[in-house]
Amino acid sequence: MSVLALSNSLPTLPPSPSQSKSETPKPLSPLLSNFTTTTTTIHNNSISWTKKTIITALSGALSCGLVFSPPCSVALESPTIQSPPPSSEYCREDEQVLKAESGPELVTNAGIVEEAWEIVNDSFLDTGRHRWSPQTWQEKKEDIMNTSIPTRAKAHDIIRRMLASLGDPYTRFLEPEEFSKMARYDMSGIGLNLREVPEDNGGVKLKVLGLLLDGPAHSAGVRQGDEVLAVNGVDVRGKSAFEVSSLLQGPNETFVTVKVKHGNCGPIQSIEVQRQLVARTPVVYRLEQIDNGSASVGYMRLKEFNALARKDLVIAMKRLQDMGASSFILDLRDNLGGLVQVGIEIAKLFLNEGETVIYTVGRDLQYQNTVVADTAPLVTAPVVVLVNNKTASASEIVASSLHDNCRAVLVGERTFGKGLIQSVFELLDGSGVVVTVGKYVTPNHRDINGNGIEPDYRNLPAWSDVTQHLSQCSKLQG
């Protein structure tokens, strides 16, 4: 097996993760006896969810080819609750939500099909096949609803064929068993997903967009549609969904207090929830000595963009810096993506404040955005990003963002070329649909989808060439 060799010559690339039988990356070169290698893996506890999920709309934007991990259940003690307001203050829509949650047996086969139709009607982005239009989609609904749907299996089959007619390989149906395996994409660690909901006054509310049935938050009393007001006493007004999800995270089996307002009218409740981590760390890292021990390179392999990716990558980067790393390699080979928002937040770790991460385009206003870095970079040292033809989606966001902002050199093969954003929506019977809702364009306004990203080098260059390349890039942009 070939091995990673860093020197001032032009060595071959290290083996991609798919070529290795071991999860732990190999030392740089056993032929150079003066190399010192320290390999570290971040460990996190994980458990399994055994119950089905009720995520109403997990808009974490998943990539293609996801391999799902098993889900889990946990029972928690009853939370403390403030006295509820008079019944007149409850909202009719809240009563409807409660009825829907307590009466899934009322869901009809036709209702499931119509729900899937409406999701596509509201959110689907036709990215070039031109098979969707409001008129043709309405005609399809009329044709379908005029037919008999006697069984749930028939309803699911109709949804499959309905989605297939769009000609989008990423828009697809999920059986309840498939949908229930999405717990590792829970960014909160307590089984809920948040969405920013604009207010008329220009502010933003954070609402519970989805819950894992019998998961930590659901068992403790958090409800679908709740507004999150505070986490561990910290007011979250003005914070993004990602920031609040980060506040909710913590060590496995520890507790977090979440203050929520049920529905639009209350009551307000402080709920203690026990964290239960499902995702496994996707980060493996090590320190390499090069140039006869005169310099150190921090190697970081990121296998997917799950709920732990950013947190664990930050840990790795800080530890490698403390160990003396003066440059970094970020290995994104065979990384098919995952949560797009996590990819965006990871890219920000390397960018200067105000630099563009990515442009997003979609029918829904929430997918029409220019994403910029809002903090100083965690590291400013030269970076090499390793890519191949299985580097896709969120991985391509990171690679293109660092490349176009002159923060990294790309080495390897042309990337996969998946520039689309998918959201995952649950249907009322526990099944789900994955729908393409947007696409992204690089900071240099390149459309990645179907094109991929061409690397700067096929083989790993000398670090002096890396530094020179990045310097020239910055001058051209300046």
- The sign of the dihedral angle between the CA atoms of 88, 89, 94, 99 is negative
Among 365, 347, 255, smallest CA distance to 310 is for 347
Q: 176-196 burial string, b = 16+ CB within 10 Å, else e?
A: beebbbbbbbbbbbbbbbbbe
| 70 Cβ contact list (under 8 Å, min separation 6) | 48, 49, 181
Q: What's the CA gap between 160 and 219, in Å, rounded?
A: 32
Task: Name residue, tokens 């996190």.
Answer: 44
Query: Would you say 404 and 443 are in contact if contact means Cβ atoms under 8 Å apart?
Result: yes
Is 303 considered catalytic here? no
Q: Which residues of 114-139 are buried (b: 16+ CB within 10 A; e: fewer)?
A: bbbbebbeebbbebeeeebeeeebee
d(CA 425, CA 172): 11
The answer to whether 284 touches 14, Cβ cutoff 8 Å, is no
Please give the Cα distance from 203 to 478 (Å, whole number): 35
User: How far is the CA of 380 from the CAs of 325, 337, 383, in angstroms?
Assistant: 11, 24, 8
Task: List the catalytic residue out of 63, 219, 393, 401.
Answer: 393
Q: Is 418 a known active-site residue? A: yes
Closest CA to 273 of 295, 292, 297, 249: 249
Name 260's Cβ contacts closer than 8 Å, sequence gap at least 6: 208, 222, 223, 226, 227, 228, 229, 268, 269, 271
The active-site residue, picked from 327, 418, 423, 439, is 418
Task: Tell me which residues are annotated as active site.
Answer: 393, 418
